Structure 1
């Protein structure tokens, strides 16, 4: 079972500031790209959660910047699931240019129902597809 993934992306000009360095908030966007690709590789795109009335809300995010990224750099976003429960998921991220670590971070998410309340994913049909992933991480 895949519990981590690598996503390649290239820095766009619009993602840089006047100094030619990637603006800090873009790293959080790249974390989202990594999360989406990881779930897609698990054959569980976010759209599958949404069809069942579930959302995955960020309740915590952090990023440590180690080296700057610049326009046209090719980056690798490594995303892994640190921990999963029936109510939350924790992801870790590492962003590299070649072998150089540029940034690392973590996000914590909770499952929400359509009313925006905390949801227990075991009560939804998608649980049968998530359960093997949870078992793998325990």
Structure 2
């Protein structure tokens, strides 16, 4: 039997009223904000803080995002955003994100980030120390 994959982080959040549209459900763009918030929580868990990640002389930018909406989320519902590393390339990494409401999958996202040199904002390989942190996640 295959072990269930373990998330880097699980970030709880409650849907706020202003995040909902006229249909009473979370407006689609807010899901990217939820994913982004979770990504910063993962950086914090892995490196201590975003600033400590940046101190390695690298940063990441979103290069591609694919979101699959599975069920609506509404005001005041409790959600959990989970993040999983699925690929570590030469200059990029890919994460899956899942947003659940209880046992219901609300959203599945696949986001590709590219490592950049903060000074030039050009793609570059991450420093060895950063690569090791991410590579260890794929070994689990």
How does the TM-score come out when normalised to structure 1?
A: 0.86
Aligned: 1:101 with 2:121: no
Deviation at 1:49, TM superposition (A): 3.1
* Aligned residue pairs, count: 133
Which residue is equivalent to 2:76? 72
Secondary structure at the aligned position of 1:134 is classed as helix
Aligned: 1:14 with 2:18: yes
Superposition CA RMSD, Å: 1.8
Which residue is equivalent to 1:119? 124
Deviation at 1:39, TM superposition (A): 1.8
Q: 1:115 to 1:41 in 2, by over 3 A?
A: same
* Contact 2:7 2:82 survives alignment (8 Å): no
Secondary structure at the aligned position of 2:63 is classed as strand
Deviations 1:71-97 (A, max 9, x none): 001000011111123411111011011
Which residue is equivalent to 1:137? 138
Q: 1:40 to 1:70 in 2, by over 3 A?
A: same
Gaps of 5+ in 2: 1-5
* Contact 1:63 1:105 survives alignment (8 Å): yes
Deviation at 1:132, TM superposition (A): 4.3
Which residue is equivalent to 1:45? 49
Secondary structure at the aligned position of 2:65 is classed as strand
How does the TM-score come out when normalised to structure 2?
A: 0.85
Moved over 4 A (4+): none
